[in-house]
Amino acid sequence: MSKVTALAPWFGSNRTLAENVGAALAGCRWVGVPFAGGMSELLHIQASSVVVGDLHTHVLNLALTAGNPRTNPQLRERLDALPYHPDVLAAAQARCRDREDAQDGAWFGDELRTGIPDLDWAVDYFVCAWMARNGCAGTKGEFDVGQSVRWDAGGGDSVVRFRNATAGLESWLGVMRCCCFVRLDVFKFLLEVKDAAGHALYLDPPFPDAGDGYKFSFTEQDQRRLAKKLAGFKTCRIVVRYYDHPLIRELYPEPLWTWHRFRGRKQTNAAANEEVLLVRNAA
């Protein structure tokens, strides 16, 4: 079985370079992650306290379910019993859309509010994420995507990918049990963060332009507001993931920020592009 490097195959995820985030946060005792997404980086963060936030309740409930020793094996058993079939995907997508409609835009069911995992919901969202075409989780149209089908012998098989992701949920149990999950807007999240030694933030916000496909929009005004808030931290270590872009060069200038450049993938999951980890207040 190949190693599964994300809880969900997120649009623009950091699966291939996530270990660099862990290295940049080494030595920190508390780490806040306000843009959880597919959660690839959590595999590499070694802090004793990790607070994980997002506005996407589907993936937060999946994380709660994967991190519960009772529901994790139940989740794997139910997913393993499912056929890899377009009707299974379509039914799961319909139920996830219904959950959004029932919450009337609040995106906050009673189960998630109390920290109780919803197994049925987690099964549905996992199917939506891993049975659909790769890299669509977290987008505006994630529940309108067709089934992933491999029509040639090149590359990995879609069914194998789904089965590997299902089996890989077992390894996520320990990771998720070490995390505290919150549903907060990034700016509300930052208000709670202590500007102190041993503390750190890792942020993977939507990138300028390419990030427009996300379910939750992040405008240029939001980008500017975020950069200003982060510049206000004088001691807490800050690590931000972007790719090289004129707006990012303006908002995070060297030498106020240390730029670490890597060859990664665009948030469109398209061709390779130069990614940057921007670091401030490094030890």
> Which CATH number characterizes residue 282's domain?
3.40.50.150
Task: Pick the last residue of a domain from 151, 178, 205.
Answer: 178
**Are residues 204 and 274 located together in one domain of the fold?**
yes
Omega before 246 within 30 of 0, i.e. cis: no
**Listed residue (283, 169, 242) closest to 12, CA to CA:** 242
Q: How many domains does the chain fold into?
A: 2
The more confidently predicted of residues 276 and 269 is 276
Residue 156 falls inside a structural domain: yes
Looking at the structure, tell me whether residues 254 and 273 fall in a common domain.
Answer: yes
The amino acid at residue 86 is: P
H or E element, residue 170? helix 158-177
Quick: pLDDT tens for 186-225. Answer: 999 999 999 999 999 999 999 887 666 777 788 899 999 9
The domain boundary residue, chosen from 125, 149, 178 = 178
Q: Is residue 63 part of a domain?
A: no
Helix (H, G, I), strand (E, B) or coil at 10: strand
Q: Is the pLDDT of residue 182 over 60?
A: yes
- In contact, 33 and 238? CB cutoff 8 Å: no
18/4 same-domain check:
yes
**At 237, which helix (H) or strand (E)?**
strand 237-243
Query: Does the bond joining 253 to the residue before it have cis omega, within 30 degrees of 0?
Result: no
| Helical H segments across 132-258, by residue range | 158-177, 186-191, 220-231, 246-251
